[in-house]
Amino acid sequence: MPLLKVDIQKAGYEKKKTIIENIHFDVKKGELIGLIGPNGAGKSTTIKSILGLIENKEGTISFQEGIKYSYIPEKPLFYDELTLWEHLDFIAAVEKLQQNEYKTYAHELLKMYKLYDHANEFPITYSKGMQQKAMLILSFIIQPEVYIIDEPFIGLDPNAMRLFLTTIEKERLRGAGILMSTHVLDTAEKVCDRFILLVKGRIAAFGTLDEIREQCKLSEGSLFDCYHKLAEDHEDE
């Protein structure tokens, strides 16, 4: 059974205005799926539908029973009056994490992402890159079975991006499934197992890179090449 199964007939922000339709896929254990598309393609609407934030939706979203999932938004969100450590302690209390294991992992993540010396400061005072790293730490600390990640590379410098990719690889080896929306196609091509290519609110292609190439009739094409071929084909429709 997949960790997450998505079957959306249609969804949108207004009853009579459909943004996405016929969105069907699943996320398996240890799998990283790239959700690919330009602004307006329906990536955010798909993610919000999965999270239950879209009222006008026809279809079903099924998480495997008893699992935890974590959402990392494109724009970091924090409580104004809490330091980063207080955010971590709050999450640990809500998720009922074992204190010894939680503290050990929190120290490890804070040092890895170079926020250890800033953990008693308010995240709202951080730079954009520091805020993004703080959001990653808050998500990783609960070690969920599913991650839903929206544009994680925005604001990350090359070193932080490398750390992020290393961490999610460890999470995949642990068995976590990951759905990641991104514009960074060259990186997605290297790290994702399968891809969902969205064009105008619909899935234009889905599968491994080889399967995407076959669907696009580009036997040696990059993910970038394939996506733009599909986008051009749909412009002609």
**pLDDT digit string, tens, across residues 20-46:** 999 999 999 999 999 998 888 999 999
- C-alpha torsion sign, points 68, 70, 202, 187: negative
178 forms bridges with which residues in the sheet? 32, 147
CATH number of 1-68+144-237: 3.40.50.300
* 6 within 8 A of 69, measured Cβ to Cβ: no
Q: What is the pLDDT of residues 35-86, one digit of tens each?
A: 998 888 999 999 999 999 998 999 999 999 999 999 999 999 999 999 999 9
Nearest CA-CA partner of 56 in 18, 85, 22 = 18
The predicted pLDDT at position 231 comes to 84
Whether residue 237 is predicted with pLDDT greater than 60 in this model: the reply is no
C-alpha torsion angle, residues 131, 132, 136, 137 (rounded to 10): -20
Half-sphere exposure of 202 (CA within 13 A, CB side): 6
**176 pLDDT above the threshold of 70:** yes
- In the predicted structure, residue 233 carries a pLDDT above the cut 80: no
**pLDDT on residue 236:** 57
Q: What is the pLDDT of residue 185?
A: 93
How far apart (Å, rounded) are the C-alpha atoms in residues 210 and 192?
A: 12
Q: Where in the chain is the domain with CATH 3.40.50.300?
A: 1-68+144-237
Residue type, 122: F
Q: How far apart are CA 7 and CA 11, in angstroms?
A: 11
pTM above 0.85, yes or no: yes
> If you compute the radius of gyration of the chain from its CA atoms, what whole number of angstroms results?
18
Res 112: pLDDT: 95
Mean pLDDT of 196-225: 95
- The predicted model gives 159-178 an average pLDDT of 96
Is the confidence at residue 16, as pLDDT, over 90? no
pLDDT at 20: 97
Q: Per-residue pLDDT tens for 96-143?
A: 999 999 999 999 999 999 999 999 999 999 999 999 999 999 999 999
Sheet holding 177-182, edge to edge: 69-72, 146-150, 177-182, 32-36, 194-199, 202-207
- How much is the mean pLDDT over the chain? 94
| pLDDT confidence of residue 154 | 83
